[in-house]
Amino acid sequence: MNPNRVLVLYDSKSGNTAKMANLVAEGAQRITGTEVRIRSIEEAKPEDVFWCDGLAVGSPTNLGLMSWRMKKFWDEVMCEHWMKLDGKIACAFSSAGAWGGGMEMACQSILTVLINFGFLTFGVTDYAAKGVTLHYGAVALREPREDSTQAACRLLGQRLAEWTAVFAHGRKEEHPDRKMGERMPAG
Ligand SMILES: Cc1cc2nc3c(=O)[nH]c(=O)nc-3n(C[C@H](O)[C@H](O)[C@H](O)COP(=O)(O)O)c2cc1C
Digit-coded pLDDT (tens) for 41-74: 999 999 999 999 999 999 999 999 999 999 999 9
CB 121 near ligand 1, within 6 Å: no
**Ramachandran area for residue 173 (φ above 0: left; ψ -120 to 50: alpha; else beta):** alpha
Q: In this structure, which residue's CA is closest to atom 7 in ligand 1?
A: 63
Q: Does residue 184 carry a pLDDT above 90?
A: no
Q: Domains (ranges, CATH) in the chain?
A: 4-182 (3.40.50.360)
* Averaged pLDDT score across all residues of the chain: 96
pTM: 0.97
Q: In this structure, which residue's CA is closest to atom 20 in ligand 1?
A: 96
Distance 42 CA to ligand 1 centre (A): 18
Instruction: Give residue 122's pLDDT.
Output: 98
Instruction: Give residue 1's pLDDT.
Output: 80
Beta bridge partners of 65: 62
**Cα separation values, 133 from 39, 153, 161, Å:** 25, 10, 18
Which atom belonging to ligand 1 lies closest to the Cα atom of 101?
Answer: 11
Sign (positive/negative) of CA torsion 37, 38, 40, 41? Answer: positive
Q: Does residue 187 carry a pLDDT above 70?
A: no
CB 67 near ligand 1, within 6 Å: no
Q: Does residue 180 carry a pLDDT above 80?
A: no
